[in-house]
Structure 1
Amino acid sequence: MSTSLQSDKRTAGKTYSIGELARELDVTTRTIRFYEDMGLLMPQRRGQTRIYSPADRVKLKLILRGKRLGFSLNESRELIELYNPSTDNNVKQLQALLDKIDEKRAQLRQQLHDIEVMQLELDEAERRCKASMKDIRAAE
């Protein structure tokens, strides 16, 4: 999520339609409109047409990356809102991202532990079932 929201020289002044962004980022236009409804993207309007800036494009990329990393929309929003273009320094944003990564890793470690415990419980239940079936068959 460390991608800067500043536009680079190649995209400065370029705008995007909803269809262009959807194709480029392999999402549906409905997905993009959902992120708009959630207040994460705020394109300009020209009549009914949405006009997305390079910053909107980067925000959408960050949202999608956050989703792949397992972040909620609110977590992605918090990280995006920390970006301050008036300083060329996004240390707060990067530190917040590192903190979120640590939280996500701890959560995944706990889930992995829970899965391992569940597997042991399933193994034990399976062992008991097989032993009971063996006893039933032996008694027949």
Structure 2
Amino acid sequence: MTDNRLSFKEMCARFDVTPRTLRYYEYIELLAPEKEGRARFYGPREVARMKLILRGRRFGFSLEEIRQWLLIYGKKGERPQLEAWLQLADRQLEALEKQRAELESSIADLRALRETAVEELARLETP
């Protein structure tokens, strides 16, 4: 075993994911570890892919979107992959901005309702 590979257990610990998650990512072909018997080993390529997968999930991309995006590099190269990334990013930024606006509206409504409740409580406490 070379020094730059991680075992299955080390990969789970490094990225704070469950064994089930790691096996699922392999099953849906997001990751392709080296196999030696039943043991799996993850080299620099798989570590880099895992970083991209987790970052993509954090940004709200589906696993299928991430899988398709990762496939582009192997089939078409870096430029098409970057172009696809820009399209995905633009779409996701728009969705996140919409979510933020909805969240800000909900927060404002909840604050107003809370303030009304505080005023009502104060009114009820006044003899």
More helix by share: 2
Identity %: 31
> Normalization by structure 2: what TM-score?
0.73
Q: Deviations over 1:61-113 (max 9, x none)?
A: 3212322333221121111011136x6x4111111111121122112211111
Q: Secondary structure at the match of 1:83?
A: helix
Q: Give the one of 70, 73, 80 matched to 1:80.
A: 70
How far apart in 2 are the matches of 1:29 and 1:119?
Answer: 34
Query: Is 1:121 the equivalent of 2:103?
Result: no
Q: Is the 8 A contact 1:19 1:29 kept in 2?
A: no
- Computed over aligned residues only, the root mean square deviation of the Cα atoms, in angstroms, reads 2.8
Quick one: structure 1 residues 137 and 20, their matched pair in 2 at CA, closer, same or farther if it must change by over 3 Å? closer
From the CA coordinates, give the structure whose radius of gyration is larger: 1
Task: Supply the distance in 2 between the matched residues of 1:119 and 1:94 (Cα, whole angstroms).
Answer: 36
| Structure 2 residue 40 is the aligned partner of structure 1 residue 43 | no
Tell me what 2:125 maps to.
137
Higher relative contact order (Cα pairs below 8 Å, separated by 6+ residues) = 1
Q: TM-score, normalised by structure 1?
A: 0.68
Q: Which runs of 4 or more aligned residues in structure 1 lie more than 4 Å from their structure 2 counterparts after TM superposition?
A: none
Counterparts of 2:50 and 2:125 in 1: how far apart (Å)? 62
Q: Residues 71 and 137 from structure 1, CA distance in 2 versus in 1: closer, same or farther, beyond 3 angstroms?
A: same
Gaps of 5+ in 1: 1-10
The gaps in structure 2 that reach 5 residues or longer are none
Number of paired residues?
124
Paired with 2:111 and 2:54, the residues of 1 have a C-alpha distance of 38
